[in-house]
A and B are shown apart, each in its own frame.
Chain A
Amino acid sequence: MRFLRGAAIALTLGLFACSTIAPTPILMGRVDKLNTEVHQRYLDCSEGANYVPDLEGCDPELLETKTIELMNLSVELIKADYKQPQGYDIHLAISMIYFRIGERNGNAYSRAEVIARQFFEIQKASSRGLALNTARYYLAHYTAARGSWQYYNAIHQLNALRKSEFLFAQTEGKIAVPHIEGPRLVRLKQAIQVLGALSGLIN
């Protein structure tokens, strides 16, 4: 009887862990699988660094649907453990694809920037902060991306507070430069340049 009771408790806990605890093995597996699929679909639609939706084998609509699905799923991963960097990393990397292929509106940019800021603040507060420079990279990128959007669509939002945010992101981006490599470094330097120009536009 005692053995059966123990087995029952173990089984209940196991089922509970697999279905309700986040990140569940199921959630992690889905994120991983979908992430691989979205990357493959994006590669099917690209030549080198360029997005070419006319390529044979490319399905832009399905790519966008899957990208949005993965963005939502990665938010679940962040909710499940908001201190771990993986959820943020996947979400922010996938958002870059989304902004290239999908709708670009102020709300989406704003959300990406605040998530990047959360990632940065948590990494900064962490005693380990292993992904701090990655977080700086995303912070600089999304602050610059939203700033560019504001410049064209909501220039009245470029005020003194925004200038301080641009300068802050630019400073943090510069700190990350020695720690980021390859094409990501190219994008980081571009973001730093854009942030400098944007802050220069505000008196």
Chain B
Amino acid sequence: MPASILVRTRQILSNIWRRLKLIDWIGAVFAILKAAKKETLEVDEKYIVIKPRILSDENYLRGVSALKVALTFVPFPGAQIAGPVLALGEVGFKLWKRISLSRDYDQLVFPPVDPNMLRFFVQLDPELAKHYGDLTTIANWGNAAIQELEPIFNDLSFLTNFEMLRAKYPHFDHDYLKRRAAENLATLQTNLDAIEQALLQVSQSPETNANIRGAFESLKGLFPVMNDWALFNSEGFDEVISIIDTIL
């Protein structure tokens, strides 16, 4: 081996040793441990059935933090470049995640009914059991029974108009249908009351209050019809919308 290479190697090693001696090793170890410390989550482990992957972003970010701290203690060229790049990666990644995760995902307006709950419900409800209980027996239960019961159950869950329910189910007890329509109306209109309160909070005068209240009462009067038509007749829904347009 040429002597020049040996000299050069010795110089490099000597430089490295001199730089390593400059490092505050105790400080570095504590800083790295602090950066890599796992965040505590106060959830009983028995409830965690889906565990995070080793390469989950949280673990990655912990690794990035530890590496960033480690690099600040390393007095070599390249470390000074890698530090800001890592910082950008972490911040950029967090920012991206925040934007990405706050997106609105598609949700169904009407969550599907669970067939087992449907079966249980039909047996639980005396009026439904009287008319359709036979469909829920072991012998008859299956996809055909589900297909037959689902529209009936959904009508009784979402229709808010007694007349419409009576027209569709003349064989049901009228008081029962009235009660179902009233309950559905109360449930589905819950958010309308909240909207009304929010509107009134921002209004300025008693006169405006009265106007908002009056307009809202008219709209609320139409909403049972809107709910029913929105569910089962899109042309009817358009008709109601056009009526609202003329009122406003």
Contacts and interface: CB of A to CB of B under 8 A. Distances in A.
Nearest to B42: A125
A152 B116 contact: yes
Main secondary structure of the interface of A (DSSP, over half): helix
Contacts, number: 197
A144 B116 CA distance: 9
A48 to B, nearest CB: 4
Contacts of A21: 55-57, 60, 93
Contacts of B154: 48-50
Main secondary structure of the interface of B (DSSP, over half): helix
A152 B119 contact: yes
B117 A79 contact: no
Contact of A97 (B60, B101, B108, B120): B108
B6 interface: no
B17 interface: no
B82 to A, nearest CB: 5
Interface residues of A, number: 76
A86 B101 contact: yes
A49 B53 CA distance: 37
Contacts of A80: 52-53, 56-57
Contacts of A191: 117
A181 interface: yes
A75 interface: yes
Contacts of A198: 120
B174 to A, nearest CB: 22
Contacts of B5: none
Task: Determine the interface band of chain B, counting residues with CB < 8 A from chain A.
Answer: 35 or more
A144 B82 contact: no
Interface string A169-203: 00000000010011111110111011001100000
Interface in B35-58: 41-44, 47-53, 55-58
Contact of A79 (B51, B100, B191): B51
Nearest to A146: B116
Contacts of B41: 83, 122, 125
A96 to B, nearest CB: 5
Interface string A135-149: 000000100110011
29 contacts: A6-B81, A6-B82, A13-B85, A13-B86, A20-B55, A22-B57, A42-B112, A49-B157, A50-B150, A50-B154, A75-B50, A78-B50, A79-B50, A81-B52, A81-B56, A99-B115, A115-B49, A122-B43, A144-B114, A144-B117, A149-B116, A151-B120, A152-B119, A152-B120, A183-B111, A186-B188, A189-B187, A190-B117, A190-B157
Interface of A: 2, 5-6, 9-10, 13-14, 17, 20-23, 25, 28, 32, 35-36, 39, 42-43, 46-52, 75, 78-84, 86, 89-90, 93, 96-97, 99-101, 104, 109, 111, 114-115, 117-118, 121-122, 125, 141, 144-145, 148-149, 151-152, 178, 181-187, 189-191, 193-194, 197-198
